[in-house]
Structure 1
Amino acid sequence: MLPTESKKALSFKRCIEDGDLVIVYERHDVMKPVKVSKDGVLQNRFGFYKHSDWIGKPLGTKVFSNKGKFVYLLAPTPELWTLVLSHRTQILYIADISFVVMYLEVVPGCVVLESGTGSGSLSTSLARAVAPTGHVYSFDFHEQRAVSAREDFEKTGISSLVTVEVRDIQGEGFPEKLSGLADAVFLDLPQPWLAVPSAAKMLKQDGVLCSFSPCIEQVQRTCEVLRSDFIEIRTFEVLLRTYEVKEVKEVKMDTSSMVDESHEDDNGGMRPCKRKHRSNEDDTVSRDNSSSNATSVVMARPCSEARGHTGYLTFARLQCLA
């Protein structure tokens, strides 16, 4: 069973308590993690907020500053944590993470091996997917990154679900103690092909491996090695196109000033309609009425700044031995 604090953090359906981590949401691109303390105060451009006013309120509450401005107090879900965590390395974002969790077939109770840990973005989502009885073993060759990741997992309440170790997986491989225990393996390494033979030993029969690489040359070398022990080798590039929804004003054309002056010409044809000549007074009246003719319309259009290529995701299934 999970410790009490992990159960609380993973439920996200409770009231805020002293010592909790919350995500303070100002707008979709302005969020920050804050640890609640009964004597704490948050200050931003909207004024100041006393933490004591937050305690006892449910997650998702709108709270007001001394100036009457508000922010939302949200649960530190893996999706939000990905947006606010410290970037010690380049991280995976929601589009890639959701794809990885699905194609690795991660469900509660699974054992997942990950290398490297990096900023812990994927680790957090994997921990939620395997909870409450599974476990994530994450490895990074950089000691300080591993220490920082452990601290973050403590903050978000998933430390009982994630074990972080310092180890060079490319050079040493995964620990022998985990041989045959992993349901899935995820590799985010400069030379993932070096770790593939060790990953094969760690996987259970029919287990799945995923390798994330930014360059197609890395994918090619990895696939060459995967063919020895793996089947169903597939590579994907996940491209996300985000739309922004805005309310805009639409002005209706005033056709009252248009008169039909068309008539038959000498050849029996029709002359085109002409616009009635208006005086300056007519123009003034038309401009004054334009605002009354405007209506609000909600429009969706692609964001001008869209995140393009992040990397290639290569999946493979361990070949079952007869």
Structure 2
Amino acid sequence: MSWNPSSAHAAAGEIAQLVGLRHKHFIFSLVPDGELQTHRGVLKHNDLIGLPWGTQVFSHIGAPFFLLQPSLADLLNELPRNTQILYPKDIGFILVTMSIGPGQRVLEAGTGSGSMTIALAHAVGAAGRVISYERNQDFQNLARKNLARVGFESRVDFKLRDIAEGFDETDADAFFLDVQNPYDYIGQARAALKPGGFFCTLLPTFNQVEKTLYALRQNRFAFIETCELLLRYYKPEPT
């Protein structure tokens, strides 16, 4: 299975999306001789494979759908999970703020279900590397499956370890720390970063933020910022 946002046509093995009335959508992998059963009829995969993305197709009872590639946001929102995941609103800001790009070497601690891991792997590209630490075997197993589903498993090194032991790397371009008590690991994170590398963590409570700020200052981090992200959707209808 793979997700190839640069392809022009739907191919066997690729992840596809069908969007019907009221934006009801289905994300699935195209398999020869496969079928997708929906509340508005059945669509055969063989009829979809080879079509240009954006084609309108119809179920066996005539219900219309658009055949589309899922966006990265679509994939992350539909990700199988066994933990709280990060959502596109936060992920996009983190990637831009830490200047994550092709060819970079990025550390992540707290793999969870792999949503951030997928976004990092997409950003660093085939020439980059993501090293993701997790201490829970079940979480890591699910993350591996999620990365394999989009075809990014070759871009990630998974490590099963308690991060209190520190990190093997010493020259990471950026570090994302997603654990409940990041303030206990700031020293280890600093040792893993290259000089001038970026560090980010996401916290739900002010008490955690306060402790983390203190630890960052104690470890001589500079240009520290704290922010809150808010996102509001509106109906896309003109007045």
Cα offset, 1:129, TM superposition: 1.1
Aligned to 1:73: 67
Q: Distance in 1 between matches of 2:231 and 2:23?
A: 17
Q: Distance in 2 between matches of 1:28 and 1:223?
A: 45
2:228 is equivalent to residue 207 of structure 1: no
Q: How does 1:42-191 map to 2 (within 5 A)?
A: 42-169=36-163, 171-174=164-167, 176=168, 178-179=169-170, 181-191=171-181
Can you list the C-alpha shifts for 1:94-121, whole angstroms capped at 9, x where unaligned?
1111110011111111111111111222
User: Is the CA contact (8 Å cut-off) linking 1:106 and 1:130 kept in structure 2?
Assistant: yes
Aligned with residue 29 of structure 2, among 35, 43, 48:
35
What's the RMSD between the two structures over aligned residues? 1.8
User: Is the CA contact (8 Å cut-off) linking 2:20 and 2:65 kept in structure 1?
Assistant: yes
Going from structure 1 to structure 2, the CA distance change for 1:65 and 1:135 (only over 3 Å counts) comes to same
User: Is the CA contact (8 Å cut-off) linking 1:23 and 1:80 kept in structure 2?
Assistant: no
User: Is the CA contact (8 Å cut-off) linking 1:22 and 1:35 kept in structure 2?
Assistant: yes
Aligned AA (2:127): T
Cα offset, 1:152, TM superposition: 1.3
Going from structure 1 to structure 2, the CA distance change for 1:214 and 1:203 (only over 3 Å counts) comes to same
Q: Distance in 1 between matches of 2:44 and 2:127?
A: 37
User: Is the CA contact (8 Å cut-off) linking 1:193 and 1:221 kept in structure 2?
Assistant: yes
Aligned to 1:318: none
Aligned AA (1:79): A
Deviates more, 1:133-142 or 1:30-39: 30-39
User: Is the CA contact (8 Å cut-off) linking 1:141 and 1:166 kept in structure 2?
Assistant: yes
What percent of counterpart residues are identical? 36
Q: Distance in 2 between matches of 1:27 and 1:109?
A: 40
Q: Which has the higher strand share?
A: 1
User: Is the CA contact (8 Å cut-off) linking 1:23 and 1:34 kept in structure 2?
Assistant: yes
Cα offset, 1:28, TM superposition: 7.1
Aligned to 1:263: none
Q: Distance in 1 between matches of 2:94 and 2:197?
A: 14
Aligned with residue 241 of structure 1, among 210, 215, 232:
232
1:63 alignment partner, SS class: strand
Going from structure 1 to structure 2, the CA distance change for 1:164 and 1:74 (only over 3 Å counts) comes to farther
User: Is the CA contact (8 Å cut-off) linking 2:81 and 2:142 kept in structure 1?
Assistant: no
Q: Distance in 2 between matches of 1:203 and 1:29?
A: 43
Mark the runs of 5 or more structure 1 residues left unpaired by the alignment. Answer: 247-297, 300-322
User: Is the CA contact (8 Å cut-off) linking 2:5 and 2:69 kept in structure 1?
Assistant: no
Cα offset, 1:195, TM superposition: 1.4
Aligned AA (2:162): D
Going from structure 1 to structure 2, the CA distance change for 1:15 and 1:29 (only over 3 Å counts) comes to closer
Q: Distance in 1 between matches of 2:228 and 2:104?
A: 25
Cα offset, 1:29, TM superposition: 6.2
4+ residue segments displaced more than 4 Å: none
Q: Distance in 2 between matches of 1:89 and 1:28?
A: 29
**Larger radius of gyration between Structure 1 and Structure 2:** 1
Aligned AA (1:172): E
TM-score normalised by length of structure 1: 0.70
User: Is the CA contact (8 Å cut-off) linking 1:12 and 1:75 kept in structure 2?
Assistant: no
Q: Figure out how many residues of one structure are paired with residues of the other and give that number.
A: 238
Q: Distance in 2 between matches of 1:140 and 1:107?
A: 23
Q: Distance in 1 between matches of 2:203 and 2:22?
A: 29
Cα offset, 1:14, TM superposition: 2.7
